[in-house]
């Protein structure tokens, strides 16, 4: 039961419960009948059913599937494979000196282990912490209470997991050592300029097809902050100043509409808009009078921090935005025109027709660094897989599937 954190991180990409192995679900696999039951051997070193059971029961309990179901077969095989991989990896990293961590790396392992244990304590001992604090406490008092409970239960939880604190730290040292080895051994796996340019051309072609066929794909990419390689032409770029209704009302309006209660949503929205009417009128008046420019109004009053710098791209029949927003955008006759107040479920918008998109690829220079990094990450991942696959192939590995 020594490598709980490492495997849980590998399988679930998150640090789950520190002592979760002690919490078995009703559908957990059968408990070990003894440490002599072996599921695999790596260079003569046994992987026992106890080790296998610890990880598998934790994972199946977390994802909520029965050990008897066919869905569990994948996880059974994967747990054994990962345990084999971990033993091979640790042996090789030790031989190559990567497990001799620097003071900084050891400090990082200590910090990550402590933070993981703290998160587990906060979850598992929530009631005890609350009873200690009562209803009125400061952040400092809360942190002190968590620290106290951590110290009181540290040894108890380590005993449950069957490990010492030093053994737990090893589970955090291993991925740090792996990270260092990977960085060094794959450093030369980088794309050429021709590979970067080829990827750029392929992405431009793909984006052109998708975005010219459906401009809302481009709208969504802009709103999501995705990398864009081609810009479709003819969309209006709309900046706005948004004066929002309060969030609680906005959420209630959305909930009503989602459940088909549009009339009730309209009534609630009408009341919320009335609450912000005076402020919206004031901002509009300042823009119309020239007291402030539109961009100054955006800087001072806009409550939409996610607005793209050049404005939102809006196609004529767009379904990416609320209908009133699209209608208001296309009611503006000329670039530079500014709307009156446009009401949506979010509040009042003041729209500026900032320009139009021009069809064409995004300049190569704008995206080449990102393409380079993406390709490099892929190449280095492939190289690392080749290296570790070779390490496993060079090891003497025996599986005993009848035992799992």
Tell me if 270 is assigned to some domain: yes
Residue 27, in any domain of the structure: yes
Does residue 210 belong to any structural domain of this protein?
Answer: no
The answer on 178 and 284 residing in a single domain is no
CATH of the domain at 335: 3.10.50.40
CA distances (Å), 97 to each of 173, 174, 313, in order? 13, 12, 54
Q: Do 18 and 89 reside in the same domain of the chain? A: yes
Contact (Cβ atoms closer than 8 angstroms) between residue 222 and residue 235 = no
Q: What is the average per-residue pLDDT within 270-298?
A: 98
Residues 273 and 350 in one domain: yes
Domain assignment present for residue 196? The answer is no
Q: What is the pLDDT of residues 207-230, one digit of tens each?
A: 999 999 999 999 999 999 999 999
- Same-domain pairing of 41 and 181: yes
391 in a structural domain: no
pLDDT-derived band at 162 (thresholds 50, 70, 90) equals confident
Residues 244 and 179 in one domain: no
**Exposure pattern of 46-80 as b/e (b: 16+ CB <10 Å)?**
bbbbbbbbbbbbbbbbbeebebeeeebeebbebbb
- Average pLDDT over all residues of the chain: 91
**224 domain-assigned:** no
Q: Which of 185, 214, 249 is the last residue of a domain?
A: 185
Mean pLDDT of 241-246: 98
Averaged over 30-45, what is the pLDDT?
Answer: 78
One domain, residues 164 and 313: no
Give the mean model confidence (pLDDT) for residues 171-190.
97
Same domain, 169 and 258: no
The last residue of a domain, from among 160, 185, 210: 185
Domains in the chain, number? 2
User: Is 387 contained in some domain?
Assistant: no
* Mean pLDDT value across residues 384-400: 96
263 & 321 share domain: yes
Q: Which tokens hold the place of 67?
A: 């050990």
The answer to whether residue 267 sits within a structural domain is: yes
pLDDT over 80 (residue 26): no
Note down the domain range covering 276.
234-357
The C-alpha atoms of residue 382 and residue 189 are separated, in whole angstroms, by 9
Same domain assignment for residues 245 and 178: no
Based on the fold, state whether residues 160 and 279 are members of the same structural domain: no
- Both 125 and 257 in a single domain? no
Q: Which of 338, 357, 376 is the last residue of a domain?
A: 357
Domain match, 180 and 276 both: no
Measured N-to-C along each axis, helices 71-95 and 49-63 cross at an angle, to the nearest 10 degrees, of: 130
């Amino acid at each position: 039961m020594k490598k709980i954190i490492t495997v849980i991180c590998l399988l679930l990409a998150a640090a789950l419960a520190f002592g979760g192995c002690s919490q078995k679900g009703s559908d957990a696999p059968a408990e070990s009948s003894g440490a002599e039951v072996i599921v695999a051997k790596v260079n003569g070193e046994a992987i026992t059913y106890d080790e296998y059971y610890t990880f598998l029961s934790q994972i199946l309990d977390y994802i909520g599937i029965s050990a008897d179901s066919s869905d569990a077969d994948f996880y059974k095989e994967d747990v054994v494979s990962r345990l084999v991989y971990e033993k091979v990896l640790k042996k090789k990293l030790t031989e190559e000196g990567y497990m001799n961590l620097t003071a900084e790396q050891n400090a990082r392992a200590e910090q990550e282990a402590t933070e993981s244990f703290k998160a587990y304590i906060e979850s598992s001992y929530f009631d005890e912490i609350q009873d200690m604090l009562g209803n009125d406490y400061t952040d400092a008092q809360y942190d002190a209470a968590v620290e106290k409970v951590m110290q009181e239960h540290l040894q108890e939880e380590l005993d449950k997991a069957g490990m010492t604190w030093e053994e737990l730290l090893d589970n955090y040292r291993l991925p740090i050592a792996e990270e260092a080895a990977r960085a060094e051994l794959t450093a030369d796996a980088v794309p050429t300029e021709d590979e970067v340019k080829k990827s750029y051309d392929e992405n431009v072609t793909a984006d052109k097809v998708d975005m010219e066929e459906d401009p809302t794909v481009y709208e969504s990419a802009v709103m999501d902050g995705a990398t864009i390689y081609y810009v479709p032409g003819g969309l209006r770029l709309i900046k706005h100043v948004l004066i929002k209704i309060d969030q609680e009302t906005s959420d209630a309006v959305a909930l009503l509409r989602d459940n088909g209660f549009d009339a009730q949503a309209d009534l609630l929205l009408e009341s919320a808009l009335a609450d912000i009417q005076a402020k919206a009128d004031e901002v509009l008046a300042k823009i119309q009078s020239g007291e402030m420019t539109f961009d100054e109004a955006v800087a001072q009053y806009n409550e939409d921090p996610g607005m793209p710098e050049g404005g939102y791209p809006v196609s004529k029949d767009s379904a990416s935005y609320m209908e009133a927003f699209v209608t208001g955008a296309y009611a503006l006759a000329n670039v530079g025109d500014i709307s009156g107040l446009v009401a949506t479920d979010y509040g009042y918008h003041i729209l500026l027709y900032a320009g139009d998109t021009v069809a064409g690829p995004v300049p190569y220079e704008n995206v080449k660094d990102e393409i380079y990094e993406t390709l490099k990450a892929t190449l280095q991942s492939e190289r690392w897989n080749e290296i570790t696959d070779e390490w496993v192939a060079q090891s003497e590995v025996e599986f005993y599937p009848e035992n799992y």
